[in-house]
Amino acid sequence: MLKENRKELRREAIEDIIAVLKDYDGYYCDLHNEVFNTDYYIIGTYQAEQQLEKLGTFKVIREVKRYEKEQVGEVFTDLSDPEKLINMYYYIIGEEVIQELELINKIWNDEASRGWNKSIIEELKLL
């Protein structure tokens, strides 16, 4: 289902993080990569274009450009490719959500445990 705005996309990112945390056994510093960089958010140009239209294509382009310039000094995402653009945008949203988690920042370098995962899920539900 296409999302109307950034808030809905953020809610979906939270749900994706929760889904991974239910069985996650890696390190918390790798959680973002596991959730947002091992699979695509959207596959297919048409669906990507539809999602970008709902969110505002130029708004998404500006945010991806800003993020990449701040993080790596230049833009690497092909902004003319709808799939790459929307997937990078979702990656950014996921990073923002994870950075907001107080608990995960305290245990960033730790290996995941069932107890910590449960606590992080509870914190995510409050966002």
Q: Are 120 and 101 in contact (CB under 8 A)?
A: yes
Alpha carbon dihedral 99, 101, 103, 104, in 10-degree steps, equals -40
Note down pLDDT in tens along the chain; length 127 residues: 667 799 999 999 999 999 999 999 999 999 999 999 999 999 999 999 999 999 999 999 999 999 999 999 999 999 999 999 999 999 999 999 999 999 999 999 999 999 999 999 999 999 9
Q: Are 94 and 32 in contact (CB under 8 A)?
A: yes
Q: What is the pTM of this model?
A: 0.94
Domain extents in the chain? 6-126
pLDDT at residue 2, as a whole number = 66
CA–CA dist 42, 100 (Å, integer): 24
pLDDT at residue 83, as a whole number = 97
